[in-house]
Structure 1
Amino acid sequence: DTGRKLASATVTGVIGESVSEFTDPQGDDNGPGGYTYPTNGAFREEEGAFDLRTFTVFETDDSWRFAFEVESLYDAFGGEFSPHYFVVYLRDPETDTGRTTEIGDLNVTAEFAEPWQYRVRASGFGGGVVNASGTNLGSPETFVELDTNLAVLSVPKESVGGTDISDWEVLPVVGSESFGSFRDVQVGEPGEFV
């Protein structure tokens, strides 16, 4: 009644119903155990730039939204965010079709225990959705909240088969982006940009 402000807060909302949420321990952003950040100050190792904290799948009437919360989200190179790279693999456990390797366009070598059917990826400069054959199915829309360290990749349901994926398996990956793929990982001493 006096007009004096007592408190304020910022709330970030993601439209949609939460289908599933995963939490990830803090401080485990070293890959299989021995990866180090590039030495250039843009990569902010001390802030945990590539440290995934939560991953949530949301559903709206016409889209699936994949929310990546990292320890520190920022923009070092002039995109919506950078140098972060967010990728999620989707797998329908009811089918054996798909692939158990990477397509070869992300500068990554991977063997998957079970086949995946779709991959969604985004950096602060763009992204894409592909099926296991590598067919381009469009680009995700991104929603970014640097203040809350949250990046959301939204794809139309028809981009991933137009089906209910709420009981599918997901594999979220966070890494460093370099010109549309993952940044090089090299054996030896860390370099300024590897």
Structure 2
Amino acid sequence: MKTSHFAVLSLAAALLGAPALAANKVSFKDPTGDDNGPGHYKYPTDPVYKSGSFDLTDFTFEKKGGKANITLGFNTTLEDAWKTGSGFAVQMAFIFIDTDGKEGSGSTDSLPGLNVKFAPEYAWEKVIVISPQGSDRVKSEVGSKAGAAKDNVLIPTRTKGSGRKVNATVDLAGLEGDPSQWRFQVLVQSNEGFPAGNDLLTRKVNEYEGQHRFGGGNDGECDPHAIDVLAGEGKGDASEAKAQHDMLSYECAEDGTAKKPATLTMVGGAKKPATQEQK
């Protein structure tokens, strides 16, 4: 049987658009232009927050022995405006990992300052904190603010930004298994050297943007403090921007608490076999 030229091209295009899932390595893409949280967030006004600074474009996690190499791509050239020594300054990311795919196993709460929940079927076991600040400062903040979750927080031994990529290496203590079977969520925030209250080095989203505050949210604690996240199947399709906006939708009570919190899902993981009805 002959295969048409059109069919070959269609298959090639589908493969190029699909997330890369191989033993010990996963890669996902995210559409550009969706660095607006639930759809209406605005950057702080200071010029250090360049357009695209929090626009995640891709994410790769590769396990090598007892370590993992992580790469995050952003939609602008990184700058170390605050002289952190890490090659970048304003970006920060939280990589939540669901290793077992079991509902009720893991945590549905996020870390302080993010104001998001996870759907029960996407409860996470480990989270990796990517920050331009030194590991000692991050460890101190996690130890004093993360509560019972602190034992499930991994902090890289090396973090470096160059060009449009942030690269990190993390020891995988307590994180055994095949990453191609895990599910991931990458939440992009902004590095805050002077965090408010119990926030874990994260920057506030307020009703109106300011020099060092995001706008378009709420002055209470009901709005998600997430500027970009992975959504859909992690292919980078334009439709995944809407999926992000839907996940990060929220409702506030009159006192500024969450009436309906933003609730995240994840990408990746082993596909469940189709049932007889689905075939």
Q: Which residue of 1 aligns with 2:47?
A: 41
Aligned residues: 171
Three-state SS of the structure 2 residue aligned to 1:100 is coil
Q: 1:185 to 1:162 in 2, by over 3 A?
A: same
Determine whether 1:173 maps to 2:187: yes
Q: 1:56 to 1:177 in 2, by over 3 A?
A: same
Aligned pair in 2 of structure 1 residues 146, 161: CA closer, same or farther (>3 Å)?
A: closer
- Note the 1:59-98 alignment, pairs <5 A: 59-72=63-76, 73-79=78-84, 80=86, 81-95=88-102, 96-98=104-106
Whose Rg is larger? 2
Query: Could you tell which deviates more after superposition, 30-39 or 66-75?
Result: 66-75
Cα 1:51/1:97, change in 2 over 3 Å: same
Is 1:135 aligned with 2:151? yes
Instruction: Provide closer, same or farther for how the CA distance between residues 132 and 164 of structure 1 changes in structure 2, counting only shifts above 3 A.
Output: farther
By percentage of residues, which structure has more strand? 1
Report the identity percentage.
26
Please give the residue correspondences for 1:124-163 in structure 2 after superposition, counting only pairs within 5 Å.
124-126=132-134, 127=138, 133-135=149-151, 139-147=155-163, 149-158=164-173, 160-163=174-177
Please report how far the alpha carbon of residue 134 of structure 1 lies from its aligned counterpart in structure 2 after TM superposition.
2.3
Instruction: Determine helix, strand or coil for the equivalent of 2:129.
Output: strand
CA distance, structure 2, for counterparts of residue 132 and residue 64 of structure 1:
24
What CA distance in whole angstroms lies between the structure 2 residues aligned with 1:120 and 1:171?
10
SS at match of 2:27: strand
Shift of 1:43: 0.6
SS in 2 for 1:133: helix
RMSD (Å) for aligned C-alpha atoms: 2.4
TM-score normalised to the size of structure 1? 0.78
TM-score by length of 2: 0.56
Cα gap change, 1:186 to 1:145, in 2 (>3 Å): closer
Please give the alpha-carbon distance, in whole angstroms, between the structure 1 residues aligned to 2:190 and 2:50: 11
**Which SS does the other structure have where 2:149 is aligned?**
coil
Q: Which has the higher helix share?
A: 2
Residues in 1 aligned to 2:46 and 2:165: alpha-carbon distance in whole angstroms: 23
Counterparts of 1:37 and 1:84 in 2: how far apart (Å)? 12
Say whether the 8 Å CA contact 1:157–1:163 is kept in structure 2: no
CA contact (8 A) 1:116 1:132 kept: no
- 1:60 Cα deviation after fit: 1.0
What residue is the counterpart of 1:31 in the other structure? 37
